Amino acid sequence: MANSKLKPAPAGVRGEPLRQRVIDAAERLLRDGKADFSMRDLATEAGVSFATPFNQFGSKAAIMQTLSARRIDMMESRFVAAPPLTDATERVMLAIDTAAAVMLEEPEVNRAVMGWLGAATSSPGQVWAHSTALWTLALGAGEGLLAARRDQALQCLPGQLAFAFRGVLSFWTAGELPDEALAPKARELASTLLLGFTEGKVIR
Residue 167 sits in the same domain as residue 101? yes
Residue 116 sits in the same domain as residue 43? no
Residue 123 sits in the same domain as residue 107? yes
How far is residue 62's CA from residue 84's CA, in Å, rounded to a whole number? 34
How far is residue 29's CA from residue 41's CA, in Å, rounded to a whole number? 9
What's the confidence (pLDDT) of residue 117? Answer: 85
How far is residue 21's CA from residue 17's CA, in Å, rounded to a whole number? 6
Residue 20 domain boundaries: 16-57
pLDDT along the chain (204 residues), means of 10: 43 66 96 94 95 93 93 97 96 98 97 84 78 97 96 97 96 96 97 88 56
What's the confidence (pLDDT) of residue 119? Answer: 67
Note whether residue 106 is domain-resident.
Answer: yes
Note whether residue 7 is domain-resident.
Answer: no
* String of DSSP letters for 92-158: HHHHHHHHHHHHHHSHHHHHHHHHHHTS--SS--SHHHHHHHHHHHHHTT-TTS-GGGHHHHHHHHH
Q: How many CB atoms are located within 10 Å of the residue 140 CB?
A: 17
Q: How many CB atoms are located within 10 Å of the residue 127 CB?
A: 18
Residue 105 sits in the same domain as residue 142? yes
Residue 174 sits in the same domain as residue 74? yes
What is the total residue count of the chain?
Answer: 204
Residue 104 sits in the same domain as residue 192? yes
Count structural domains, the chain: 2
Residues 6 or more apart whose Cβ sits within 8 Å of residue 42? 22, 25, 26, 29, 53, 60, 63
What's the confidence (pLDDT) of residue 23? Answer: 96
Residue 48 sits in the same domain as residue 64? no
What's the confidence (pLDDT) of residue 126? Answer: 84
DSSP 8-state symbol, 181: G
What's the confidence (pLDDT) of residue 110? Answer: 96
